[in-house]
Structure 1
Amino acid sequence: MVRLRALWDITKTAAARVHLVSCLAAALFTAGCQLRAEEAQTPAKKLVSAAAPLTPAATPAAPATTAPLPDSLRLTPVPALAAVPDTLHQAIQQLHAALGPAAAALRPEVLEQACVGYLTLHPTGRIERAGLLAVADMDLPNTTERLWVIDLKNAQVLHRSLVAHGEGSGHLRARRFSNQESSACTSLGFYRTAGTYDGIHGYSRRIEGLDKGQNANAFDRYVVLHAADYASPKYVQQYGHLGYSRGCPALPPEQFKDIIATLRVGSMLLVSGPGLASRWLDGGAAGRRFLQRGWR
């Protein structure tokens, strides 16, 4: 009997130990699940900070300096010209359509500015070359071909190219314009092409500003058509934008000779951009001239 009782006590003790071990195992398993669940919900940065001290290689880098945002590519709306008769307005629309894909990026409102200026200026004798105009839309990014030379009579784009603006005028787009000598800015307005010469930029063509207060100092500032390496497609591919002039509408080396030759003495050039105001944007006078002579 004593032996049976002793055996029973031993059995109870063993069972208790087994139960205790089972409870401990269950507790550890539960704690382990909770720990893993917490790790899954904790940001990595927090887990690292709770660990051993960081080695230099694991130290978080200092916040990077925020890079300046590029100029907005949203173009400035071009105000409608007053007093342009429907006949002329429709003729300009037809011209734009006839110019085809080469003029797809030329905004119709900017083409209308150029055409109205041409029709107003030509009868005054300030420009002598009939049926030809050049227009640069400096509101477009300088990574686009934003200069067009147009044959009005044959509705043809003769040249389309990149063109640089002055370093004082902005980055991707020209936003500031000035007629001042030391501004290094592009000047808006209508120009008459003058003679050629060989200068520091090689073969160049001088231009005369026809808008008092906006570009009348261009000739004295030596704002000219010339070639520049920073106005080339290769420069855009390398730097993501064109370089900058001191105010000249600088041209790609591959195209400048042909463009300068086409825009011989007495041709009209419009440099358009936000804030353009000109006495030559006379819709009524342009309409009357168009009815009399068309594009001649």
Structure 2
Amino acid sequence: MEKHSVVHRLRLKVRARRAMRRVLPFVASLFLATPLASSVSSTQAHPHATSVRMPSLQLFEANAFNSGVRQLYDDLNVAESGLSYDVFRKAYTGFLNLKAEGKLDASREVLTVVDFEKPSTEKRLWVLDLGQKQVLFHTLVAHGHNSGENVATNFSNENESNMSSLGFYVTQDDYTGKHGRSLKLQGVDEGYNDNALERSVVMHGADYVSEDFIQQYGRLGRSLGCPALPMDQYAQIIDAVHGGTCLFLNGPDTSYDSEFLNTDVAAHEYATAATASAAQRV
């Protein structure tokens, strides 16, 4: 029994060394990429000597996050389809914050982004598979009737406002209602969209979300606050995003703020996941 215990401990040590060898290049790359803090003068006994403070773990994580967001944005190749880096970065920051709080399905890497800074005549919804680095859908989406004509400029969290609500949502289950198959959305930004379930703000299909409608009226039709989708795609989109994935609705409202835009939390979540992934590949 004692001999078996010794062998087991030796095996654990070997595995630990292998894991460390795998993780060290990742940590080293963070160190090399992180600007060092300014030098600090030493004591008066050695007036010409200087010492340099080592970058903190927080700086390591921030550098990894900044580099990782840019690389993911480039890998997804969404710049060409009109998704700006700033909007993507906000959406991904919220995704990581929600993931860190356990609000998302941990087994899925799906992020949906809607940019209401763009007019309704443009495709302004992206469904992204972050794990596979693929764009699953890029399509039209309607905003609320009282949010504006072709461009959404007004947003509300109030019942019967008929406006869209900005912020982060977690997708729930689908159901069949007056709009046919629909997807419940839980708003998680207090004061901005946390009345979404009570307001029945859901994803659903609508015949006024189409290129034909745009050609006839010069804009999309408008919903009562729901992010309505094209009839030929809504079912596939619901299949892809239902059940615990992140949805971010961005818009031209400078007063919008969110606890889920915490970059420190996002950076820590990103670095932790990257380190764990490196260790698992041992």
TM-score by length of 1: 0.69
Partner of 1:140: 118
How many Å separate the matches in 2 of 1:212 and 1:179? Answer: 9
Contact between 1:96 and 1:103, CA under 8 Å: does it hold in 2?
Answer: no
SS of 1:164's equivalent? Answer: coil
Whether 2:107 is the aligned partner of 1:157: answer no
Partner of 2:186: 208
Partner of 1:67: none
Whether 2:64 is the aligned partner of 1:87: answer yes
Partner of 1:259: 237
Whether 2:81 is the aligned partner of 1:104: answer yes
Q: How does 1:211-226 map to 2 (within 5 A)?
A: 211-226=189-204
How many Å separate the matches in 1 of 2:104 and 2:197? Answer: 16
Partner deviation per Cα, 1:108-167 (whole Å, 9 max, x = no partner): 000001110011111212111531110100111111110001011121101111000001
Amino acid at match of 1:265: G
Q: Which of 217, 223, 239 is residue 217 of structure 2 equivalent to?
A: 239
> Which blocks of at least 5 consecutive residues in structure 1 are unaligned?
1-82
Partner of 2:101: 124
Deviation at residue 102 of structure 1 after TM alignment: 7.4
Q: Which of 257, 270, 275 is residue 290 of structure 1 equivalent to?
A: 270
Percentage of matched positions with identical amino acids:
40
SS of 2:235's equivalent? Answer: helix
Task: Give the count of matched residue pairs.
Answer: 214
How many Å separate the matches in 2 of 1:103 and 1:150? Answer: 14
Partner deviation per Cα, 1:68-104 (whole Å, 9 max, x = no partner): xxxxxxxxxxxxxxx9923212222211211125753
Superposition RMSD on alpha carbons, in Å? 1.8
How many Å separate the matches in 1 of 2:159 and 2:80? Answer: 33
> Which blocks of at least 5 consecutive residues in structure 2 are unaligned?
1-58, 278-282
Amino acid at match of 1:128: D
SS of 1:229's equivalent? Answer: coil
Contact between 2:100 and 2:265, CA under 8 Å: does it hold in 1?
Answer: no
Amino acid at match of 1:278: S
How many Å separate the matches in 2 of 1:274 and 1:89? Answer: 24
Contact between 1:231 and 1:252, CA under 8 Å: does it hold in 2?
Answer: yes
Amino acid at match of 1:115: Y
SS of 1:97's equivalent? Answer: helix
Contact between 2:79 and 2:85, CA under 8 Å: does it hold in 1?
Answer: no
TM-score by length of 2: 0.73
Amino acid at match of 1:126: K
How many Å separate the matches in 1 of 2:104 and 2:64? Answer: 24
Q: Which of 146, 150, 153 is residue 172 of structure 1 equivalent to?
A: 150
Deviation at residue 274 of structure 1 after TM alignment: 2.1
Partner of 2:249: 271
SS of 1:204's equivalent? Answer: strand
How many Å separate the matches in 2 of 1:100 and 1:91? Answer: 14
Q: Which of 173, 193, 210 is residue 195 of structure 1 equivalent to?
A: 173
Partner of 1:13: none
Contact between 2:115 and 2:251, CA under 8 Å: does it hold in 1?
Answer: yes
How many Å separate the matches in 2 of 1:213 and 1:102? Answer: 31
How many Å separate the matches in 1 of 2:169 and 2:185? Answer: 6
